[in-house]
Structure 1
């Protein structure tokens, strides 16, 4: 059960870069992964096929959250903050994997 929330700042209409949070697991072994991409569907498929980031291999991932930005630097800046925001990621885990 994926929760897809996409927040688009006004200027994000022309060029889209997404920051996303993936979730995987059951019980006590629930993990999250934060990344950025220009194509969410393609990137999620890559993670699930084993060709994504090394830390995501061997698991089935669901899109938990996504935000849209107008350029790569804004998306990467937000990714940096989300990777360090453990409280936000814990809240996402609890809402999707009760």
Structure 2
């Protein structure tokens, strides 16, 4: 909980910091607090759609919670963002998750 408390303190000072929100969302994922993590990932991608790393994690979270069609939609959005940013590595990871979800 110490990490979560620190991240929340930092977010009070920089409430729109996508990196801090992403880090906090990952901490929530570790604790199984999917609703809190999902809310943060969605906030990030609504306000900062170029924050590519959150697409993958949101998609995986949605898959785990039985929301496969929505996960696929987020993977598609993430692939488009990665393509626009020229981030081949992120595109490849998102494409792999997307293809796995489509087969699943």
TM-score by length of 1: 0.26
Structure with bigger helix share is 2
Q: Which has the higher strand share?
A: 1
Larger radius of gyration, structure 1 or 2? 2
TM-score normalized by the length of structure 2: 0.25
